[in-house]
Amino acid sequence: MSVSSSGSAAYSGSLEGSNAQRGLWSSRLAFILAATGSAVGLGNIWKFPYVTGENGGGAFVLVYLLCIAIIGIPIMMAEVMIGRRGGHSPVNSIKAIAQRDGLNPAWKLVGAVGILAGFLILSFYSVIGGWAISYVGTTASGQLSGQTADAVGAIFSGLLSNPGTLLLWHTVFMALVMLVVAKGVRSGLERAVSILMPALFVLLLIVVGYAMTTGHFGQAAAFLFQPDFSMLTTSGVLVALGHAFFTLSLGMAVMMAYGSYLPKKISIAKTSITVSVIDTGVALLAGLAIFPIVFANGLEPGAGPGLIFQTLPLAFGQMPMGSLFGTLFFVLLIFAAWTSGISLLEPIVEWLEEQKGMNRTVSTLGAGVVCWALGIASILSLNLWADFAPLGFIPMLEGKTIFDLLDFFTANILLPLGGLLVALMAGWVMSKPAMEKELALSPGTFNLWFVTVRFITPIAVGVVFIYNLM
Ligand code: TRP
């Protein structure tokens, strides 16, 4: 992707303008930038490696890839299609389609699930975004150079044990997100995605290059890509499914909102596949960067949410120009998290504006501050409340802190539920000719998609739910 050389007018600014004004930035590109900005985030670089490590590697990765291909991409297409056909914010798009196609307005529930999920996810997402901010200073100061795994681990534990520092960086991250949402200026940031994402990709490649010199690259590749099904549990399958939704920003009507700005002549299938491939590529690259370092230093693949913060700093401490690359890496990670965070807050703010008649500043402040306050519970889960498992009496939630519960409830339950509703809406209730027209696929491909959202997605989500939750 290259950046326009002819100045600001080339890009229509926000997505809002993308239908009206087209310059060097095609609207397809504008959509891809916004959708990729939302999709690529902490989910790819922070969460994917650690859930893969916790769930035993290859078999989990395979299930995750299958979920992306046969559930994620079709659901993304359905969301974008509903958004484009509705032409409004998610709640109103569904209302508009409901009127046009004669559906029950109860489908608005999809929007409600999304708003709740976004709000809950952002509360802990911002805490992790704060970790990334904190690590800019850690890497830039040069204190990592030549450190041992123990020392790097101690720096991370030091951060977690300090609620004040965590709160400071959580506050900074949330403020960054609120600033952009309140001002309604997405354009600059979205344009930046076209430079920063490739830059993040290159830095990941540099770390992968370093990881190859550790002598444990083969072991890492085998861990990621040689499925050992004895390692896979039913809860692992649920986590893989939930993560497919999380990483692609699905199940929350975000892609619906973006789809409403996609011009009619652009292929929904091709754009959805492009976004999904970029997103998956970043995650796999992060895995290839991190696991060689894990094995080379005798670390634990299942170390949990701290995994990248206990491994990447080791690499940056050892490679040439590590302080520079490390600092750049965490700055880029913050940008990736920032564009995702915005897409988590935006739906709530839009809803408050539309339904409650608040102006943008007030609704951003209201939603942002409540979300920030909820984040404090996640911060305390890392230290003072580390042993507090409020729902521990339920066997599958045993030992889960508030932070773990928020992650579990949103990624593994709310998002797949939102996705299930989208699949049911597209597969069973929307007008088929209208969808044929909207997707403009060959009859064979359309039917493949239709059968998937009508049967395969609901059955797959249903079976995984029943196995895990019953
Ligand atoms: N996809 C983002 C990530 O991987 C997180 C995210 C942003 C998200 N917006 C979302 C997840 C909407 C679900 C729904 O980091």
DSSP character string of 283-348: HHHHHHHHHHHHHHTT--TT--TTHHHHHHHHHHHHSTTHHHHHHHHHHHHHHHHHHHHHHHHHHH
Ligand 1 centroid to residue 42 C-alpha, Å: 8
| Ligand 1 atom closest to 344 (CA) | 9
- 218-241 pLDDT tens trace: 999 999 999 999 999 999 999 999
**pLDDT classification of 186: cutoffs 50, 70, 90:** low
pLDDT of residue 17: 40
Residues 377-393: tens digit of each pLDDT:
999 999 999 999 999 89
Give the distance (Å) from ligand 1 centre to CA of residue 126.
Answer: 12
Model pLDDT, residue 268? 95
Cβ-proximal residues to 282 (8 Å cutoff; 6+ apart), any chain: 40, 44, 45, 197, 200, 201, 204
Percent of the chain with pLDDT over 90: 70
Q: Identify the residue whose tokens are 């009206």.
A: 20
Task: State in Å: Cα 79 to ligand 1 middle.
Answer: 14
Separation of CA 244 and ligand 1 centre (Å): 10
Residue 3 pLDDT exceeds 70: no
pLDDT tops 90 at residue 346: no
| pLDDT band with cut points at 50, 70 and 90 for residue 11 | very low
Question: What pLDDT sits at residue 6?
Answer: 33
Burial of 265 (0-12, 13-18, 19+ CB in 10 A): exposed
First to last CA, the chain: 47
- C-beta of residue 331 within 8 angstroms of C-beta of residue 152: no
Contact assessment for residue 144 and residue 316, using Cβ atoms and an 8 Å cutoff: yes
Q: What is the pLDDT of residue 409?
A: 93
- The whole-model pTM stands at 0.91
Pocket-forming residues, ligand 1, beta carbon under 6 Å: 38-39, 41-44, 118, 121, 246-247, 249, 252, 254, 340, 343-344, 415
By mean pLDDT, which of 10-19, 100-109, 291-300, 435-444 is the weakest? Answer: 10-19
Query: Are the CB atoms for 404 and 394 separated by under 8 Å?
Result: no
Tell me the per-residue pLDDT of 27-75, one tens digit each, with 9 for 90 and over.
788 888 889 999 999 999 999 999 999 999 999 999 999 999 999 999 9
Tell me which of 252, 406, 407, 409 to substitute to probe ligand 1's pocket, judged by most ligand atoms within 8 Å of the beta carbon.
252
Q: In whole numbers, what is the pLDDT of the chain averaged over residues?
A: 89
Which residue matches tokens 């920030």?
372
